[in-house]
A = this chain, B = another copy of it.
Amino acid sequence: MPVSREIHLVARPDGMPTPDNFQLVETQVPDAGDGQVLVENLYMSVDPAMRPRLTAGQALNEAMTGGALGRVVQSKHPDFAVGDLVSNRMGFREFFVSDGKGLTRLSPADGLPLTVHMHALGGTGFTAYGGLLHIGQLKDGEQVFVSTAAGAVGSVAAQIAKIKGCYVVGSTGSEDKAAWLRDEVGLDAVIDYKAQPIRKALEAATPKGLDVYFDNVGGDHLEAALRRMNTLGRIPVCGFISGYNSGHSPVSNLSNIIYARVMLRGFVATDFMHLYGDFQRDMAGWLRDGKVKYQETIMEGIAAAPAALIGLMQGKNSGKMLVRLAA
Protein backbone atom coordinates (compact mmCIF):
# COMPACT_ATOMS: atom_id res chain seq x y z
CA MET A 1 0.00 0.00 0.00
CA PRO A 2 2.33 2.71 -1.30
CA VAL A 3 2.22 6.39 -0.49
CA SER A 4 1.71 8.38 -3.66
CA ARG A 5 2.09 12.11 -4.11
CA GLU A 6 -0.16 13.87 -6.58
CA ILE A 7 -0.90 17.40 -7.85
CA HIS A 8 -4.33 18.91 -7.22
CA LEU A 9 -5.75 22.02 -8.84
CA VAL A 10 -6.95 24.12 -5.88
CA ALA A 11 -7.77 27.44 -7.60
CA ARG A 12 -8.48 28.37 -11.23
CA PRO A 13 -5.86 30.65 -12.76
CA ASP A 14 -6.84 34.11 -13.95
CA GLY A 15 -4.50 34.40 -16.93
CA MET A 16 -1.07 32.83 -16.40
CA PRO A 17 -1.18 30.01 -13.83
CA THR A 18 0.75 30.58 -10.61
CA PRO A 19 2.22 28.07 -8.12
CA ASP A 20 -0.58 28.68 -5.60
CA ASN A 21 -3.17 27.36 -8.06
CA PHE A 22 -1.73 23.91 -7.31
CA GLN A 23 -1.10 21.77 -4.25
CA LEU A 24 1.03 18.68 -3.67
CA VAL A 25 -1.06 16.10 -1.81
CA GLU A 26 0.08 12.83 -0.24
CA THR A 27 -2.31 9.91 -0.49
CA GLN A 28 -2.41 6.18 0.24
CA VAL A 29 -2.89 4.02 -2.85
CA PRO A 30 -4.34 0.53 -2.23
CA ASP A 31 -2.63 -2.61 -3.43
CA ALA A 32 -3.84 -4.15 -6.67
CA GLY A 33 -7.03 -6.22 -6.18
CA ASP A 34 -8.31 -8.97 -8.42
CA GLY A 35 -8.27 -7.86 -12.06
CA GLN A 36 -6.17 -4.82 -11.19
CA VAL A 37 -2.62 -3.56 -11.57
CA LEU A 38 -0.62 -1.09 -9.51
CA VAL A 39 1.42 1.24 -11.73
CA GLU A 40 4.36 3.44 -10.77
CA ASN A 41 4.74 6.35 -13.17
CA LEU A 42 8.24 6.98 -14.52
CA TYR A 43 7.59 10.10 -16.61
CA MET A 44 4.71 12.46 -17.11
CA SER A 45 4.05 14.78 -20.00
CA VAL A 46 3.38 18.52 -19.75
CA ASP A 47 1.36 19.89 -22.68
CA PRO A 48 -0.06 23.25 -23.78
CA ALA A 49 -3.51 21.65 -24.04
CA MET A 50 -3.50 21.24 -20.26
CA ARG A 51 -4.02 24.99 -19.86
CA PRO A 52 -7.67 25.24 -21.02
CA ARG A 53 -8.61 22.41 -18.66
CA LEU A 54 -7.48 24.54 -15.72
CA THR A 55 -10.19 27.04 -16.64
CA ALA A 56 -12.87 24.44 -17.27
CA GLY A 57 -12.86 20.66 -17.21
CA GLN A 58 -10.42 19.87 -14.41
CA ALA A 59 -12.26 19.50 -11.08
CA LEU A 60 -10.91 21.49 -8.15
CA ASN A 61 -9.25 19.63 -5.26
CA GLU A 62 -8.75 16.49 -7.31
CA ALA A 63 -5.65 15.02 -8.91
CA MET A 64 -4.95 16.39 -12.37
CA THR A 65 -4.54 14.06 -15.33
CA GLY A 66 -2.34 13.86 -18.40
CA GLY A 67 -0.17 11.55 -20.44
CA ALA A 68 2.32 9.42 -18.52
CA LEU A 69 4.55 6.40 -18.87
CA GLY A 70 4.64 3.92 -16.00
CA ARG A 71 5.78 0.47 -14.96
CA VAL A 72 3.51 -2.26 -13.55
CA VAL A 73 4.70 -3.01 -9.99
CA GLN A 74 1.87 -5.35 -8.89
CA SER A 75 -0.46 -7.31 -11.13
CA LYS A 76 -3.58 -9.36 -10.54
CA HIS A 77 -4.67 -8.71 -14.14
CA PRO A 78 -4.26 -11.48 -16.77
CA ASP A 79 -3.06 -9.04 -19.50
CA PHE A 80 -0.26 -7.32 -17.56
CA ALA A 81 2.87 -8.63 -15.87
CA VAL A 82 5.08 -6.94 -13.30
CA GLY A 83 7.67 -4.92 -15.20
CA ASP A 84 5.43 -4.13 -18.17
CA LEU A 85 5.72 -0.56 -19.41
CA VAL A 86 2.34 1.11 -19.88
CA SER A 87 1.39 4.47 -21.33
CA ASN A 88 -1.55 5.97 -19.47
CA ARG A 89 -3.54 9.18 -18.90
CA MET A 90 -2.85 9.24 -15.13
CA GLY A 91 -0.09 11.84 -14.98
CA PHE A 92 0.43 14.22 -12.06
CA ARG A 93 0.70 11.28 -9.60
CA GLU A 94 3.35 8.75 -8.63
CA PHE A 95 1.25 5.57 -8.25
CA PHE A 96 -2.22 4.46 -9.26
CA VAL A 97 -4.37 1.35 -9.38
CA SER A 98 -6.09 0.45 -12.64
CA ASP A 99 -8.38 -2.24 -14.01
CA GLY A 100 -6.41 -2.03 -17.24
CA LYS A 101 -8.72 0.32 -19.12
CA GLY A 102 -6.79 3.24 -20.56
CA LEU A 103 -3.46 1.41 -20.25
CA THR A 104 -1.53 0.63 -23.41
CA ARG A 105 1.37 -1.78 -23.12
CA LEU A 106 4.45 -0.30 -24.69
CA SER A 107 7.19 -2.18 -26.51
CA PRO A 108 10.20 0.10 -26.21
CA ALA A 109 11.73 0.88 -29.60
CA ASP A 110 15.13 -0.72 -30.09
CA GLY A 111 18.07 1.62 -29.79
CA LEU A 112 16.05 4.63 -28.70
CA PRO A 113 15.70 6.13 -25.22
CA LEU A 114 12.45 5.47 -23.39
CA THR A 115 11.53 9.16 -23.31
CA VAL A 116 11.01 9.35 -27.12
CA HIS A 117 7.77 7.45 -26.48
CA MET A 118 6.67 10.56 -24.57
CA HIS A 119 7.18 12.92 -27.55
CA ALA A 120 8.50 12.20 -31.04
CA LEU A 121 7.43 8.55 -30.98
CA GLY A 122 4.35 9.18 -28.84
CA GLY A 123 1.25 11.33 -28.87
CA THR A 124 2.96 14.61 -29.72
CA GLY A 125 4.84 13.09 -32.65
CA PHE A 126 1.70 11.40 -33.88
CA THR A 127 -0.18 14.69 -33.61
CA ALA A 128 2.45 16.32 -35.82
CA TYR A 129 2.51 13.41 -38.29
CA GLY A 130 -1.24 13.11 -38.79
CA GLY A 131 -1.84 16.84 -38.52
CA LEU A 132 0.61 17.56 -41.30
CA LEU A 133 0.09 14.57 -43.61
CA HIS A 134 -3.60 13.70 -43.06
CA ILE A 135 -5.34 16.91 -41.94
CA GLY A 136 -2.89 19.18 -43.81
CA GLN A 137 -2.63 16.87 -46.85
CA LEU A 138 1.02 17.86 -47.26
CA LYS A 139 2.51 17.21 -50.69
CA ASP A 140 6.22 16.81 -51.38
CA GLY A 141 8.01 20.07 -52.09
CA GLU A 142 5.36 22.45 -50.78
CA GLN A 143 5.85 25.74 -48.95
CA VAL A 144 5.32 25.21 -45.21
CA PHE A 145 5.23 27.33 -42.05
CA VAL A 146 5.24 25.81 -38.57
CA SER A 147 4.71 27.96 -35.47
CA THR A 148 6.40 27.11 -32.15
CA ALA A 149 8.70 25.09 -34.37
CA ALA A 150 11.06 24.29 -31.50
CA GLY A 151 8.23 22.83 -29.42
CA ALA A 152 7.36 19.18 -29.02
CA VAL A 153 4.77 19.03 -31.78
CA GLY A 154 6.16 21.84 -33.94
CA SER A 155 9.68 20.47 -34.13
CA VAL A 156 8.42 17.10 -35.38
CA ALA A 157 6.04 18.74 -37.88
CA ALA A 158 8.82 20.96 -39.24
CA GLN A 159 11.19 18.01 -39.65
CA ILE A 160 8.61 15.78 -41.34
CA ALA A 161 8.04 18.62 -43.81
CA LYS A 162 11.79 18.77 -44.44
CA ILE A 163 11.90 14.99 -44.96
CA LYS A 164 9.14 15.47 -47.56
CA GLY A 165 11.30 17.93 -49.50
CA CYS A 166 9.40 21.04 -48.49
CA TYR A 167 10.62 24.60 -48.00
CA VAL A 168 10.06 25.08 -44.27
CA VAL A 169 9.85 28.24 -42.19
CA GLY A 170 9.63 27.95 -38.41
CA SER A 171 8.86 30.51 -35.73
CA THR A 172 10.07 30.42 -32.17
CA GLY A 173 10.39 32.78 -29.22
CA SER A 174 14.09 32.84 -28.33
CA GLU A 175 17.45 33.13 -30.02
CA ASP A 176 18.59 29.81 -28.47
CA LYS A 177 15.69 27.95 -30.01
CA ALA A 178 16.11 29.80 -33.29
CA ALA A 179 19.74 28.73 -33.40
CA TRP A 180 18.79 25.09 -32.80
CA LEU A 181 16.23 25.22 -35.63
CA ARG A 182 18.70 26.85 -37.99
CA ASP A 183 21.87 24.97 -37.15
CA GLU A 184 20.73 21.54 -35.92
CA VAL A 185 17.38 21.02 -37.61
CA GLY A 186 18.26 22.90 -40.81
CA LEU A 187 15.04 24.79 -41.48
CA ASP A 188 15.09 27.05 -44.53
CA ALA A 189 14.15 30.15 -42.53
CA VAL A 190 13.65 30.79 -38.84
CA ILE A 191 11.72 33.68 -37.29
CA ASP A 192 12.33 34.77 -33.70
CA TYR A 193 8.93 36.38 -33.19
CA LYS A 194 10.06 38.20 -30.07
CA ALA A 195 12.83 39.92 -32.06
CA GLN A 196 10.95 40.63 -35.32
CA PRO A 197 7.31 41.45 -36.11
CA ILE A 198 5.86 38.13 -37.28
CA ARG A 199 3.90 39.63 -40.17
CA LYS A 200 6.84 41.30 -41.89
CA ALA A 201 9.25 38.49 -41.11
CA LEU A 202 6.92 35.84 -42.51
CA GLU A 203 6.35 37.86 -45.66
CA ALA A 204 10.10 38.13 -46.21
CA ALA A 205 10.62 34.42 -45.49
CA THR A 206 7.95 33.12 -47.88
CA PRO A 207 8.64 34.42 -51.39
CA LYS A 208 6.51 31.59 -52.86
CA GLY A 209 3.69 31.98 -50.33
CA LEU A 210 2.45 29.13 -48.17
CA ASP A 211 0.67 25.90 -49.01
CA VAL A 212 0.44 24.59 -45.45
CA TYR A 213 0.53 26.42 -42.14
CA PHE A 214 0.76 24.08 -39.16
CA ASP A 215 -0.77 26.29 -36.48
CA ASN A 216 0.09 25.90 -32.81
CA VAL A 217 -0.45 29.54 -31.91
CA GLY A 218 -3.45 31.28 -33.50
CA GLY A 219 -3.65 35.06 -33.05
CA ASP A 220 -0.97 37.13 -34.75
CA HIS A 221 0.76 34.09 -36.26
CA LEU A 222 -2.46 32.93 -37.90
CA GLU A 223 -3.13 36.44 -39.20
CA ALA A 224 0.35 36.62 -40.66
CA ALA A 225 -0.03 33.21 -42.31
CA LEU A 226 -3.48 33.98 -43.73
CA ARG A 227 -1.88 36.86 -45.66
CA ARG A 228 0.54 34.42 -47.31
CA MET A 229 -1.66 31.41 -48.13
CA ASN A 230 -1.59 30.10 -51.69
CA THR A 231 -4.73 28.93 -53.46
CA LEU A 232 -6.21 25.79 -51.89
CA GLY A 233 -3.83 26.07 -48.94
CA ARG A 234 -4.44 24.09 -45.75
CA ILE A 235 -4.15 25.13 -42.11
CA PRO A 236 -4.26 22.23 -39.66
CA VAL A 237 -5.01 23.91 -36.32
CA CYS A 238 -3.32 22.02 -33.53
CA GLY A 239 -3.23 24.65 -30.81
CA PHE A 240 -4.02 28.24 -29.98
CA ILE A 241 -1.42 28.84 -27.30
CA SER A 242 -1.68 32.61 -27.88
CA GLY A 243 -5.20 32.53 -26.48
CA TYR A 244 -4.84 30.02 -23.67
CA ASN A 245 -3.76 32.53 -21.03
CA SER A 246 -5.05 35.82 -22.45
CA GLY A 247 -8.46 34.38 -23.34
CA HIS A 248 -8.67 36.17 -26.68
CA SER A 249 -6.58 36.16 -29.79
CA PRO A 250 -8.85 37.73 -32.38
CA VAL A 251 -8.16 37.03 -36.03
CA SER A 252 -9.16 39.95 -38.22
CA ASN A 253 -8.37 38.70 -41.74
CA LEU A 254 -10.14 35.36 -41.79
CA SER A 255 -11.93 36.48 -44.95
CA ASN A 256 -8.69 35.66 -46.79
CA ILE A 257 -9.75 32.01 -46.69
CA ILE A 258 -12.41 32.79 -49.29
CA TYR A 259 -10.18 34.40 -51.90
CA ALA A 260 -7.54 31.68 -51.66
CA ARG A 261 -10.06 28.92 -50.84
CA VAL A 262 -8.16 27.89 -47.76
CA MET A 263 -9.17 25.13 -45.37
CA LEU A 264 -8.67 25.46 -41.60
CA ARG A 265 -9.32 22.37 -39.56
CA GLY A 266 -9.05 21.76 -35.86
CA PHE A 267 -8.05 18.24 -34.94
CA VAL A 268 -6.92 15.85 -32.26
CA ALA A 269 -4.83 12.74 -32.78
CA THR A 270 -7.79 10.38 -32.35
CA ASP A 271 -9.11 11.72 -35.69
CA PHE A 272 -6.52 9.62 -37.55
CA MET A 273 -5.78 6.59 -35.39
CA HIS A 274 -5.78 4.43 -38.54
CA LEU A 275 -2.36 5.96 -39.32
CA TYR A 276 -0.76 4.91 -36.01
CA GLY A 277 1.05 1.88 -37.42
CA ASP A 278 2.49 3.86 -40.34
CA PHE A 279 3.55 6.57 -37.93
CA GLN A 280 5.39 4.23 -35.57
CA ARG A 281 7.28 2.57 -38.41
CA ASP A 282 8.19 5.85 -40.15
CA MET A 283 9.10 7.75 -37.00
CA ALA A 284 11.24 5.02 -35.40
CA GLY A 285 13.21 4.90 -38.66
CA TRP A 286 13.62 8.67 -38.84
CA LEU A 287 14.73 8.86 -35.20
CA ARG A 288 17.31 6.07 -35.66
CA ASP A 289 18.62 7.72 -38.83
CA GLY A 290 18.89 11.08 -37.08
CA LYS A 291 16.44 12.62 -39.54
CA VAL A 292 14.20 13.74 -36.71
CA LYS A 293 16.11 15.49 -33.94
CA TYR A 294 14.57 16.44 -30.63
CA GLN A 295 15.14 18.31 -27.42
CA GLU A 296 13.79 17.47 -24.01
CA THR A 297 13.43 19.54 -20.88
CA ILE A 298 13.14 17.10 -17.98
CA MET A 299 12.26 18.38 -14.53
CA GLU A 300 12.77 16.16 -11.50
CA GLY A 301 10.07 14.87 -9.19
CA ILE A 302 6.31 15.24 -8.84
CA ALA A 303 6.69 18.47 -6.81
CA ALA A 304 8.13 20.17 -9.93
CA ALA A 305 5.06 19.46 -12.08
CA PRO A 306 3.30 22.83 -11.47
CA ALA A 307 6.51 24.72 -12.25
CA ALA A 308 6.91 22.62 -15.40
CA LEU A 309 3.42 23.57 -16.58
CA ILE A 310 3.92 27.27 -15.81
CA GLY A 311 7.35 27.18 -17.44
CA LEU A 312 5.87 25.64 -20.57
CA MET A 313 3.36 28.49 -20.77
CA GLN A 314 6.24 30.94 -20.47
CA GLY A 315 8.25 29.20 -23.18
CA LYS A 316 11.02 28.14 -20.80
CA ASN A 317 11.25 24.62 -22.22
CA SER A 318 13.38 23.48 -25.10
CA GLY A 319 11.39 20.82 -26.91
CA LYS A 320 9.26 18.40 -24.97
CA MET A 321 8.59 19.26 -21.33
CA LEU A 322 8.63 16.16 -19.12
CA VAL A 323 8.72 15.45 -15.41
CA ARG A 324 10.64 12.41 -14.21
CA LEU A 325 8.67 10.74 -11.42
CA ALA A 326 10.86 7.67 -10.80
CA ALA A 327 14.02 6.13 -12.12
Interface residues of A (CB under 8 A from B): 52, 218, 222, 232, 237-240, 243-244, 248-268, 271
Contact = CB atoms under 8 A, between A and B. Distances in A.
27 contacts: A218-B254, A218-B255, A222-B254, A237-B258, A239-B258, A240-B255, A240-B258, A243-B255, A244-B255, A249-B255, A250-B250, A251-B251, A254-B254, A254-B264, A256-B266, A257-B264, A257-B265, A258-B266, A258-B267, A258-B268, A261-B265, A261-B266, A261-B271, A262-B265, A263-B263, A263-B265, A264-B264
A259 B222 contact: no
Contacts of A250: 250-252
Given A240-B254, A250-B252, A254-B254, 11 more contacts: A222-B254, A240-B255, A249-B254, A251-B254, A257-B265, A257-B266, A259-B266, A261-B268, A262-B266, A264-B264, A264-B265
Chain copies in complex: 2
Contacts of A240: 254-255, 258
A32 to B, nearest CB: 35
Contacts of A263: 263-266
A248 to B, nearest CB: 5
Contacts of A260: 266
5 A-B pairs with least C-beta separation: A257-B266, A240-B255, A250-B250, A258-B266, A250-B252
Contacts of A222: 254
A254 B237 CA distance: 10
Contacts of A243: 255
A309 to B, nearest CB: 18
A81 B289 CA distance: 68
A161 B238 CA distance: 30
Could you say which of A238, A253, A259, A266 has the most chain B C-beta atoms within 10 Å of its C-beta?
Answer: A266
Could you say which of A52, A238, A253, A254 has the most chain B C-beta atoms within 10 Å of its C-beta?
Answer: A254
Contacts of A267: 258, 261
Nearest to A52: B259
Contacts of A257: 237, 264-266
A206 to B, nearest CB: 19
Contacts of A251: 250-252, 254
